[in-house]
Amino acid sequence: MEEQEIDLIELAQKVWAGRKLIFKWCGIAAVAGIIVAFSIPREYETSITLAPESSSKSNAGNMGALAAIAGINLGNSTGEDALSPALYPDIVSSTPFLTELFGVRVKDMEGACETTLYDYLDEHQRSPWWSAVLSAPFKLLALFRERPEEVDRVPDPFRLTPEEAGIAEALSRRISVAIDKKTGITTISVTMQDPLISATLTDTVMIKLQNYITDYRTNKAKHDLAFTEKLYREARADYFAAQKKYADYVDGNQNVILQSRLTEQERLRNEMSLAYNIYNQVAQQLQMARAKVQEITPVYTVVQPATVSLRPAKPNKMMILIGFVFLAGVGSAGWILFVKDLVKSWRKERK
């Protein structure tokens, strides 16, 4: 223990002896940190919070009670939903979802830029000065290459161009969806260099995600509803035709007492009754299909709507400054304690 204590004291003395070097490096790092912090463009984050949906069992019970009053049986429709909230982040980061956002119209706070989201991410992004320095050689090489003719095309998720794939990847990094497993709260966040564009895009992402989930959950029910409506129209037409045929026959044979005519009248009455029963059953099925669509249509509650952010979320200038100074302090202390003596001994051996 005594040797370890002596070593610690010696190390502290060596660091204190080289304090001027440490202060010098920390001062240089502080200046560099300030330059870097003010060179990084500001980015604003907007978040929307969605409350979880109510229990499907209670919804089904309420809808079933209403349907029972009308004499309709909805059956057991409380099956497990295949589209769980855990898949929401994957949906938002999917290529089809991102490409649908390319054409969204955006406008910055100053009103100087009003274009599509694709053009905004492609042409109106600010970058730090070192990005321009590093990309300068590639831009010079691009001047000597033949550029393909630019044509207006609709982005195809199945086959994106390199530029479209790059924009989709950059957009995916700027959109995040977080799910709280305990409470079921869904939080959608978007980070952009303009606060108004960030708020606008956050609201758009929320609406598109809601529409995607609604279409997914009601897809089969809507197909069943469309098919039932077709059957309803056919059954109604058949019933009206049978009713008219029976009425025309009765009007044309009011004073006839022949058994053959009475038999034909009875047959037409039976056909009309059968058509009416089918029409009535299909009408009930139609009401059941409409109630089914209404039952499984999700209802969203926005707890925290999108608002234009007043303060930038990035960069954190203080943390950048502290990080630069900390690394400079650790590096200079390591130089004094370990590297400096090794360099001196190596030079002596060479001499």
Asked whether residue 5 is assigned to any structural domain, the reply reads: no
What beta strand segments (E) does the chain contain? 44-51, 105-107, 114-116, 175-179, 186-192, 301-304
- Give the pLDDT confidence score for residue 81 in this predicted structure: 54
Where in the sequence is the domain holding 23, given as residue range(s)?
18-40+315-338
Residue 234 lies in a domain: yes
Q: Strands across the sheet with 301-304, in order?
A: 175-179, 186-192, 44-51, 301-304
Examine residue 331 and state whether it is found in any structural domain, yes or no. yes
Residue 182 and residue 68 share a domain:
yes
Let me know if residue 6 belongs to a domain: no
pLDDT tens string, the chain, 351 residues long: the values are 444 455 677 778 788 888 888 899 999 999 999 999 898 899 999 999 998 765 444 444 454 554 544 444 545 444 445 578 888 999 999 999 999 999 999 998 888 888 999 999 988 888 887 777 777 676 666 666 655 555 566 788 888 888 899 999 999 999 999 998 888 889 999 999 999 999 999 999 999 999 998 888 889 899 999 999 999 999 999 999 999 998 988 887 777 677 777 788 889 889 999 999 999 999 999 999 999 988 888 888 889 898 998 898 888 889 999 999 999 999 988 888 887 778 777 777 776
What pTM was estimated for this model as a whole? 0.72
Same domain, 57 and 33: no
252 and 325 in a single domain? The answer is: no
Q: Is residue 344 part of a domain?
A: no
34 & 84 share domain: no
Is residue 10 one of the residues assigned to a domain? Answer: no
295 and 205 together in one domain: yes
Does 127 share its domain with 85? yes
The reply to whether 22 falls in a domain is yes
Task: Tell me how far apart the alpha carbons of residues 140 and 136 are, in angstroms, rounded to a whole number.
Answer: 6
pLDDT number for residue 78: 45
What is the model's pLDDT at position 14?
80
Closest-CA residue to 37 (of 325, 328, 330, 331) = 325
Round to whole Å and give the CA distance between 286 and 225: 7
pLDDT of residue 134: 73
Tell whether 52 and 136 lie within a shared domain.
Answer: yes
- pLDDT of 189 reads 95
Record the tokens describing residue 318, joined without a space: 């203080």
284 shares a domain with 332: no
In this structure, are residues 199 and 306 in contact, taking their beta carbons and an 8 Å threshold?
yes
Question: Is the domain of 258 the same as that of 319?
Answer: no
What is the per-residue DSSP string for 139-167? HHHHHTSPPPPP------TTS--HHHHHH
Q: How many domains does the chain divide into?
A: 2
Whether 188 and 320 map to the same domain: the answer is no
Q: How far apart are CA 62 and CA 39, in angstroms?
A: 58
Tell me: do 247 and 309 sit in the same domain: yes
Domain membership of residue 77 (yes or no) is yes
Instruction: Indicate if the alpha-carbon torsion angle 157, 163, 169, 173 is positive or negative.
Output: negative
Same domain, 24 and 139: no
